[in-house]
Structure 1
Amino acid sequence: MNKEPLWTKDFISVSASNFFLFVAFYFLLVTMPVYALQSLGGSSAQAGLLTTFFLISAIIVRPFAGQWIEKFGKKTVLISSQVIFLGASLLYFFPDTLGMMLAVRFIHGIGFGMATTATGAMVAEIIPGSRRGEGMGYYVMSTNLAMVIGPFLGLTVMQSLGNTAMFAINAAIACLAVTAGLVIHTDEQKQSVPVVSIFQLKFNLRDLFEFSAMPIALVGGFFSIIYASLLSFVSVYAEELHIGGVASYFFVVYAVVLLMSRPFTGRWFDRYGAHAIVYPSILMFAAGMFVLSQTETALVFLVAAGMIGLGWGTLFPSFQTIAIQEAPPKKKALATATFLSIYDLGIGAGSFIIGWAVTGMSFSTLYLSCSAYVAAGLAVYFLLQGRREQKNRQTI
C-alpha cells in the first residue's frame, strides 16, 4: 500500500512560513528586553512587559482568528495577518519611548496570533489523514528549529551590528514569511463577504473556543508552565553552574535530538495511537528535568537537553495533533486557536510563577520540583484525555 504524499509544495511552504514567523518571534524575544534596558531606559520589570504585551494580544486575537478563518478562508486570513506582522516589524525603527514600543509589540502580537492560527489550520488540511501524527511532528519541528536559530541570530546581530541592523533583519524575516505564505495553494472557494462583517463577531464561548480541544489544550498548558522555566532560566542556571559557555547549545542539542527522533515518533503515533507516544514522552521529559536538576558538568547539562528535547519535543506536536483530530472538520481552525491560546497562557503564567518561585529556592531545587510536576502530568493526561481515548477505542 502506497503512502499518501506528505512533502508536498504546500506542506513545505506552510512549514516555511511558520518557521519564519517563529524565527522573528524568538529573534525579538531575547533582544527586546536588552533593547528596553539599554536604549529605552526601562527597568527590568518594564522590559518584561514587552513580551507580556505581545503574548496578550496574540492570545486575545486567536479565538477571533478562528472565526475569521471560517468566514473568509485560511489563505485570506494568513496573508492579511502576515501583512500586519510585516507592517509591525517596520514600526520598530520609530519608537523612542517604552510606551510607544509597547504599542508596537501589541500590534505585532496581533499579526503573530492570527498568522500562527491560520498556518496551524492550513497544515491540518494539507497533511494526509493517515500521516497526521508524522506530519504534525515535522510541522512543529519548524517551530523548534526557529527556537534555536532565532535567539542565536538575534543576539549575534544585536551585539555585532547594532539595533538598526537588528530591526532591518527582523523585517526581512517577516518578508520571507509573507513570501512563503503567498505560494500556498488552498482549495477553498472564494466568496464575497462585506468588509464590515470582519467586526461582526460572535462572543458566545462556543464560537470563541472549540470545546472538543479543551481537555488536551489544558494538558498542554499544564506542561507549558514547565517549558517556560527552560525558556526563561536555563541560561541563568548554566551561569550559576559556571558552564555559561555551553548555555547557547542547550536548545541546539534539543533540536538535534528532535531531528533524529521525528521520523520515528510521528509514525509511531499514527500506527500505535497517542498513548504509545504520550506516556513514555512524559516520563522522558520528567527524567530530563531530573538530570538537569542534578547536573554539575557541561556534558550532563547537554544530556539533559537531549532528554528534554525527546520528551517535550515529542509531546507538543502530539498534543496539537490530538486537538485537531478531536475537532469536527469545520472547527479545526478554532481547535488550533484554542490549543495555542491555552498553551501561550501556560507560558505566560509559567514565566511569572517560576520567576516568583526561584526567589526562594536554588535552580537545582527548582528543576527537581519541576521533574516531580512533570511526572504528575501522567495523571493529568489520563484524567483529562487518556480516559476519553480509551473509551473511544473500545467503542470502535
Structure 2
Amino acid sequence: MNKTKLWTKDFIGVSAGNFFLFMTFYFLLVTLPVYILQGQGGTEAQAGLVTTVFLIAAILIRPFAGQWIGMFGRKKVFVTSLFLYLVTMILYLVATNFNALLALRFFQGSSFGMATTAAGAIVANIIPDSRRGEGMGYFVLSNNLAMAIGPFAGLTLFNGWGMSAAYIACIVISVIAFIIGLSLVADHSGSARLGSMFRLKLHPKHLFEKSALPIALTGAFFSVGYASILSFVPVYAEELNIDGMASYFFIVYAVLLVLSRPFTGRWFDQYGENIIIIPSIILFAVGLIVLSLADGAVLYFVAAGMIGIGWGTLFPSFQTIAIARARPERKATATATFLSFYDFGIGVGAVVIGAAVAGMGFKTVYASLAVYVLIGILVYMTAAKTKKEKHHSLSL
C-alpha cells in the first residue's frame, strides 16, 4: 500500500459528499431570505434570522459531535447526520409558516454541524502526513466550488421556477450526498451503544481541543473579515450598478483558487506554514483594498481573484494546523473546535460589518478591513509562537 497516496476512493468520496452538502447550504443561504421577503411577506430581520439560527445550531452541536465521533466512529456520525439533514430538507416542503421554518433551520443546522465535523475528521484520518497541507487544501476546495456554484444555481432555479423547485433540487442533492456517505469504507474507531450518546462530558477540556485553540482563534479573527465577502459582496455590487454580475464574483473567486491549489498545498507541505500563510494574508488584504477602490466590474473581479487565492488558501492552512497539533484521538475534537470558532467569527462579522456599512459605507468598510486583516499577521505570529513555545517545553 502506498502510504503517500492522496486520491483514494474515500478521499474522493468524502470530498464529493462535502461538496453536495455545501451546495444545498449555499442554495438556501441565498434563496431563503428572498423567499421570506417576497413569498411570505416577512421582514429583513426574519430573513436574517433563518441564517443566524442555522449557524448557532451548527456552533452548539460541534463540540458534542466531536465526542460522538469518538464514541460511534467517523462514518456512522457522518452518515447519520447526512440522513437527518436529508429528512429536514424534505420537511421544507411542508413548512408553511415562519415559525416552522425557523425550527427546521435549527435542526438542519445541527445536522450540518455534525456532518461537517465528521467529514473533517474522516479527511484528517485518511490524508497522509506528508501531504496534509495539500490534501486539506483539495478537501476545502469542495466548499469553495459549492460556494461558487450553489448561489448561482440556487438563484437561477428560484427565479425561474420558484422555491418548491429549489427545495426539490436540494432534496435530490442531499440524497446523492447520503448515498456517497454510505459508500465510504466502514470505520471501526468507535463501538459505543446508542444509549451512551447522552453521556457527554461537559467540561471545556472535553468539548474543545486545547492545542487547536490558538489557531482556531486566529481563524475566527480572519473569518470576521471574510464575513464581509460572504454576506455583503452582492449588495455592494448593487451600489456599483453591476448587480447583474454579482453572482460571478464567486465564480472568479473559485477559478483562481482552483488554479492556485496545486501549488499552494504542496508548498505548505514542502516549505512550512509561514511561506504560505503570510503572503496569503497580504494578498487577502490587497484584495480588500482593490474592492474598496472598485467603481465597476473590472476591479470588482480583480478583487475576487485576489481574495479567492488569499482567503481560499488561509482557511485550509489554518484547519490543517489545528488538526496537525492534536493527538490522533483528539483530531475530531480539534476539527470541531476550529469550525466552531470559524462559524462564530462569521456570525459576529456579519452583524458588526452590517452595522459598520450602515454608518460608513462599503468603500470605507472594505478599506478598514484591509488594515484589520494586515493586523492579523501579528495575531497569526502570536499563535505560531505559542505552538513553538509549547513544543520546546515538551522537548525539555
The aligned runs of 1:1-396 (5 Å cut-off) are 4-188=4-188, 191=191, 193-389=192-388, 392=391
State how far apart, in whole Å, the 2-side matches of 1:340 and 1:55 are: 11
Shift of 1:180: 1.2
Q: Secondary structure at the match of 1:381?
A: helix
Q: CA deviation at 1:5?
A: 1.0
Instruction: Please say which of residues 347-356 and 177-186 is displaced more in the overlay.
Output: 177-186
Q: Is the Cα–Cα contact under 8 Å of residues 275 and 386 in structure 1 kept in the other structure?
A: no
Q: Encode CA deviations 1:137-183: one digit per residue, 9 max, x unaligned.
A: 00000000000111111111111111211111111111111011111
- CA separation in 2, counterparts of 1:340 and 1:327? 15
Q: Which runs of 5+ in 2 are unaligned?
A: none
Contact 2:74-2:118 within 8 A present in 1 as well: yes
Give the Cα separation in 1 of the matches to 2:226 and 2:190: 40
| Secondary structure in 2 matching 1:4 | coil
Structure 2 CA distance, aligned partners of 1:66 and 1:190? 12
User: Normalized against structure 1, the TM-score is what?
Assistant: 0.97
Q: Cα distance, 1:385 vs. partner?
A: 2.6
| SS state at 1:296 partner | coil
Measured after TM superposition, the shift of residue 201 of structure 1 is 0.8
Q: CA deviation at 1:298?
A: 1.1
1:391 offset after TM fit, Å? Answer: 7.1
CA distance in 2, matches of 1:106, 1:263: 37
Quote how far apart the aligned CAs of 1:47 are.
1.1
CA RMSD after TM alignment: 1.6
Sequence identity of aligned pairs in percent? 57
Q: Find the aligned partners of 1:145 and 1:361 in 2 and give their Cα distance.
A: 32
Secondary structure of the 2:93 match is coil
1:3 Cα deviation (Å)?
A: 7.6
Equivalent residue letter for 2:222: F
Does the C-alpha gap of structure 1 residues 93 and 219 become closer, same or farther in structure 2, counting only changes over 3 Å? Answer: same
Paired with 1:336 and 1:130, the residues of 2 have a C-alpha distance of 19
Query: How many Å separate the matches in 2 of 1:375 and 1:13?
Result: 37
Instruction: Report SS of the residue matched to 1:96.
Output: coil
Q: Deviations over 1:70-126 (max 9, x none)?
A: 011001111110111000000101122111100010111111000000000000011
| Counterpart AA for 1:331 | R
Q: C-alpha offsets along residues 310-329 of structure 1, whole Å, 9 cap, x if unaligned? A: 11000000000000000010
* Per-residue deviation, residues 24-45 of structure 1 (Å, max 9, x unmatched): 1000000110111122221100
SS for the counterpart of 1:242 is: coil
Consecutive unaligned residues in structure 1, runs of 5 or more: none
Alpha-carbon shift at residue 239 of structure 1 (Å): 1.4
Counterpart contact for 1:40–1:96, Cα < 8 Å = no
Residue 136 of structure 1 aligns with an amino acid whose one-letter code is: M
Cα displacement (A) at 1:194: 2.7
Residues 391 and 331 of structure 1: CA distance in aligned 2, closer, same or farther (over 3 Å)? closer
State how far apart, in whole Å, the 2-side matches of 1:309 and 1:125 are. 27
Cα distance in structure 2, aligned partners of 1:42 and 1:244: 23
**One-letter code aligned to 1:215:** P
Q: Distance in 1 between matches of 2:8 and 2:56?
A: 34
AA partner of residue 111 (structure 1): S
- Residue 297 of structure 1: CA displacement? 2.6
SS of equivalent residue, structure 1 residue 93: helix
Distance apart, 1:389 and its partner CA: 3.8
Alignment size in residue pairs: 394
Letter in 2 for 1:388: K
